[in-house]
Every structure is written in structure tokens, then in C-alpha cells.
Structure 1
Amino acid sequence: MSIRAIETSYAGHRFRSRLEARWAVFFDSLGMRWEYEPQGYAVGPDGARRPYLPDFFLPEQRLWGEVNGSEQQLDVELVFHAAIPHYGLPNPAGPHVFSEHQVQLLILGPVERVSALVDAKTGEHAGYSQPTHTVLSFRKGDVFQGTASFYATGIDIEPDGGLVGDDGPDIRWNTRGSEWGNWVCGGVLLSEDRDEDVYAGYRAARSARFEHGQTP
């Protein structure tokens, strides 16, 4: 039996799930512009193209965003094809190129807790432990799985996390690595006090209450 997500209204949009709405709250908390389901595309190689409607587009970061509560709900082959520029998602803001990688897609899992860190010796505040999320990028014919973490004014991306396939298009299932979108506790970023806004953003998204479809 499948569990049906609860549609939720927020900021003039009707989100398909509360998790999507929580990520919109998070983006708003950080002052990041977002568009919800702006455009659908047919992605994949000729003869196997499939419709795909990404959840978010972040124009300032030039990234598409896909939200899933668990990897079991994620169509891995579809988002893999979406990350290959010549038959995947186009980028209306221009390519996001970092370290020769064309970063295409940010995959977001549950909105996890962010913990305040305390120096064991002094008892003083020592920053925050915050989640990392998955990004898919393309470089020289190959698709790579990397990580992304948020900071006060944007996103910090490490695209070179591992090769997961090529534009054959073949997914290397045996070397694919960690679950996409749910690296929330794997690879912890220790942020500085200047990222207090990120901590507040995660907290606002987690604590948002959407009663009867209304705004939090």
C-alpha cells in the first residue's frame, strides 16, 4: 500500500507534498529565489525519452531541484538521464560549471535536524553540524555524484564524489555510492557562526505547520 502525500499551499503555490513546501520555506528563510515546477521536459536518449517535471528551479544557483522523502520513491534512471545535458534538462539561466563539471541537479531528501556544536573542553559554541545533499553533474561524457551544502549566501558544491555512469547511457549500479538525496548524516559540514541563517532556515522548515493547507 502506498502512502499518499498531503498537498500543501504555501506562497501562492499548491505543492504536491508538505516536504516540498518545507523546502520552499527553507529557501525563503535564506532569501534564495525559487520557482516551483516551472516547466516539464522529455529527457533521455532517442527512443527512450520520458516526461520529467522537476520540483524546483533555483535561478541564482542555476540548479534544478528534485525532492523525495526516500530514495525508494526516486526514479534513479530518470534523474540520471536528466543530468546529461544533451538529452536531459536544459538550463534557462545558463550552465552551472564548477571544476569542469556541469552541475545539473540537486536532490533533496527529508529536512533533517541541524545540531549546535559545543567545544568539549571549553563548553563554548563551536558552530553547527548540518546536512549534505546530493548533486548530479556531467563532465566529459560521464555523470558524477557529488555533494552540496547550504551556507548563508548560496550553495557549496563538491561535484567529484564518484562516477556513476556515462552518456551511453549506462548507470554503474555497483559503484553508485550513497543514497541520492539522503546524505543528510553522511559527511558533516562544520559551519561557522556566520551560517547562523542556515541553522535558522532548517529549523524554520522543520517546524513549519501547515494546517488545513494553509501557510505556516
Structure 2
Amino acid sequence: MSIRAIETSYAGHRFRSRLEARWAVFFDKIGIRWEYEPQGYAVGPDGGRKPYLPDFWLPKEKLWVEVKGSEEQLDVELLFHAVIPHYGLPNPAGPQLINEHQVRLLILGPIGRADSLVHSTTGEHAGYSQPAHTVLTFRKGDVFQGMACFFAGGIDITPEGGLVGNDGPYIDWEGRGTRWGNWVGGGGLISEDRDEAAHAAYRAARSARFEHGQTP
């Protein structure tokens, strides 16, 4: 039996799911400007193009965002095709390039936990842990899975990661769950005190309540 998503209103938008609304709360709290479902596109090779409506566009980061409650809900082939520039999603503001990688698509799952760390010996504050998220990039005909972490007002992206296919198109799906998918809650990044805003944003998004109006 499938679980039906709950449509949720927030910031003047009607979100298809409460999870999407929570990520909008997160973006607002951390200071990232967002647009919700601005436009749909047909993606994929000629003869096999499919409609795709990305969940968010982040103008400053030049990054599309897909939100899914679980990895099993990901349409891997569709997202893979969306990442390939010559038949995927456009770059409305021009490509974001990091180490020759075009950073194309950020995949977000359930809102992860972000915790304060305590030194095991001294008991003193030792920084923070936060989730790492999947980002898909394109470089010289190949698609890679990298890592993205949030900080105050932006995203720290490491584009180098596992090779998941090429523009043949060939998709390596055998690594699903390790090299491909939602890394939310997996691993974890020890960040500095200056990144406390990210942890406050995770807490706000996790605890947001929408039942009594648009203000969480």
C-alpha cells in the first residue's frame, strides 16, 4: 500500500508534499532563495523524451533540486537524463562549474538530523554534524555523483565522486544505495561553529508545523 503525500501550503505556494514544504522552510531559514516548480521540460534522447518538472530551482546556486521521501521513489533514468546538458534540463543562469564539473541536480530526501558534538574526553563543544546530500554533475560526457552540504547562505559542493554513467546513455545502477541515491543521514560532516545556521535550519524544518496556516 502506497502512502499518499499531504499537500501543504507555505509562503504562498501549494506544495505537493509536506516534505517539499519543509525543504522550503529550510531554504528560508538558511538564507537560500528558491523557486518552486518554475517550469517543466522534456528530457532524454530523441525518441525517448519524457516530461520532467523539477521541484525547486535555486537561482543563486544555479542548481535544480529534486525532493523524494525515499530512494525507491527516485526515477533514476529520468533524473540521469535530466543531468546531461544536451538533452536534459537547461541552465537558465548559465552553468555552475566546479573543477570542470557542471553541477546539475541536487537530490534531497527526508530532513536529516544535525547535532551538536561533544568531545568524548573533555565534554566540551566540538562542532556540529550534519547530513550530506547527493549532487549529480556532468563532466566530459560522464555523469558523477558528488556530495553537497549546506552552510549559512549557500551550499558546499564536492563534485568528484562515483561515476554513474555517460551520455551514451549508459547508467550504472548496481551501486544504488552507496554511490547513487539519498545520502541524507548517512556519513555526516563535522562542521565549524560558523555553520551553526545550517543546524538551526535543519531543526526548524524538522519541527515545522503547517496544520494551522502557512507560518510553520
Shared fold per TM-score greater than 0.5: yes
Question: How many angstroms apart in 1 are the aligned matches of 2:213 and 2:89?
Answer: 31
* Aligned twin of 2:67: 67
Match of 2:97 in 1: 97
Distance in 2, matches of 1:145 and 1:195, equals: 24
Q: CA deviation at 1:185?
A: 2.9
Higher mean C-alpha displacement, 17-26 vs 204-213: 204-213
Local SS of the residue matching 1:174: coil
Is the Cα–Cα contact under 8 Å of residues 118 and 124 in structure 2 kept in the other structure? yes
TM-score by length of 1: 0.96
Question: Quick one: distance in 1 between partners of 2:142 and 2:180?
Answer: 17
d(CA) in 1 for partners of 2:165 and 2:132?
22
**Residue 161 of structure 1 aligns to a residue in which SS?**
strand
Distance in 2, matches of 1:185 and 1:107, equals: 13
Matched, 1:131 2:131: yes
Residue pair 2:10, 2:215 contacting (<8 A) in 1 also: yes
Partner of 2:40: 40
Q: Deviations over 1:57-107 (max 9, x none)?
A: 000110000000001111010000000000000011110110010010000
Answering whether residue 183 of structure 2 is matched by residue 183 of structure 1, we say yes
Structure 2 unmatched runs, 5+: none
Shift of 1:177: 5.6
Identify the residue that residue 167 of structure 1 maps to in structure 2: 167
Q: 1:96 to 1:129 in 2, by over 3 A?
A: same
Distance in 1 (CA, whole Å) between partners of 2:213 and 2:37 is 18
What letter corresponds to residue 126 of structure 1 in structure 2? A
Cα displacement (A) at 1:121: 1.7
Q: Does 1:113 align with 2:113?
A: yes
Structure 1 residue identity aligned to 2:197: D
Cα shift at 1:187: 2.7
Question: In structure 2, the residue corresponding to 1:173 is in which secondary structure?
Answer: coil
| Residue aligned with 1:64, SS | strand
Aligned length, in residue pairs:
216
Structure 1 residues not aligned, in runs of 5+: none
CA distance in 1 between partners of 2:174 and 2:60 (Å): 34
Give the conservation status (yes or no) of the 8 Å contact 1:9–1:215.
no
Question: 3-state SS of the aligned residue for 1:78?
Answer: helix
Contact 1:41 1:89 in 2 (8 A): yes
C-alpha contact 1:163 1:175 (8 A) present in aligned 2: no
RMSD: 1.3
Residues 1:142 and 2:149 are matched in the alignment: no
Read off the aligned partner of 1:111 and give its amino acid letter. Answer: I
Question: Which residue identity does 1:189 align to in structure 2?
Answer: L
Q: Distance in 1 between matches of 2:15 and 2:204?
A: 17
Separation in structure 1 between the aligned mates of residue 74 and residue 136 of structure 2, nearest angstrom: 14
Q: Secondary structure at the match of 1:206?
A: helix
Please, what TM-score do these two structures have when normalized by structure 2? Answer: 0.96
Does the 8 Å CA contact 1:68/1:181 hold for their aligned counterparts? Answer: no
**What's the offset of the Cα at 1:31?**
1.1
Secondary structure of the residue aligned to 1:150 is strand
SS at match of 1:159: strand
Matched ranges for 1:153-164 at <5 A: 153-164=153-164
Letter matched to residue 116 of structure 1: S
